[in-house]
Amino acid sequence: MCTVVIDVAAQGARLLAVRDEDPQRAWDDLGEWWPDRYPGVVGIRDRRAGGAWLALDPARGRLAVLLNRADVLDLPEQHVLSRGSLALESVAGRAPDGGPLPMHGFNLLEVTLQGSRVLSWDGTALRETAVPDGVHMIAHDDLDDPRTARIETWLPRFAGIERELAAREGASGGEGDADWADRWVALLAESAALSADDDRAIIRDNTAHGYPTLSLLYCTAEVTAGRTAARSHALPTPGAWS
């Protein structure tokens, strides 16, 4: 039940991504963990399966984030492959095609200088959704899906920040908005006033909903012509803002 906020513009994209995972599942912070197979790729690695939740290739100007999605059909566990390779393959320029995928459901957000899209797999079909210019959110359902309470609650607020920043930039003659990450993180902190098991919460404790996952970290990232980079921030206490 991860969450991503993304702002797409002609000059690139920037995003805020919150990772929900089992706190007992070991992981490694941003680093070049795959030098042999994916040289130059930086990502947050899942130690158990060896894949990535978020990955970026600064040289290619590519970034990908993996979010879980519910399956329409139950897949036999003995035939299911890890989804952890998806973000790594994406930043290497190899996205899944339309064939059957032996994986549980996912939303794969792909960000490049040419545009952004979401590839969604639910166990029966792989769909592609272009991410148009502007501010959007995605979690375990569709892009900007109003059925997801945290999207319905917080998307207008994140979009409002961007409108304010755009107005400021216009008034200053286009000097830029380097403080966008601080403003988005401040709103993320505000959202954490909700109980972590509230459907509207972005910083989450999903155990009350039957999943052993809590929010572990958040990342801010950008993909532009001059810079592709990410910063990660681990939460000292899973599922709680500090």
Residue 240 lies in a domain: no
Residue 55 lies in a domain: yes
Residue 127 lies in a domain: yes
pLDDT at 176: 55
203-218 pLDDT, tens per residue? 999 998 888 999 999 9
Query: Containing domain of residue 9, as a range?
Result: 3-234
Q: How far apart, in whole angstroms, are the C-alpha atoms of residue 166 and residue 150? A: 24
Residue 242 lies in a domain: no
pLDDT(179) > 80: yes
Residue 241 lies in a domain: no
How many structural domains are present in the chain? 1
23-63 pLDDT, tens per residue? 999 999 999 999 999 999 999 999 999 999 999 999 999 99
Instruction: Give the closest residue to 46 by CA, choosing from 5, 2, 112, 78.
Output: 2
135-169 pLDDT, tens per residue? 999 999 999 999 999 999 999 999 998 887 777 76
Q: Is the pTM of this model over 0.85?
A: yes
Token look-up 């290619």 returns 60
Q: Could you tell me the CATH number of the domain that includes residue 187? A: 3.60.60
Residue 157 lies in a domain: yes
Q: How far apart, in whole angstroms, are the C-alpha atoms of residue 85 and residue 67? A: 13
Instruction: Give the closest residue to 231 by CA, choosing from 215, 219, 222.
Output: 219
Residue 239 lies in a domain: no
pLDDT at 72: 73
Residue 139 lies in a domain: yes
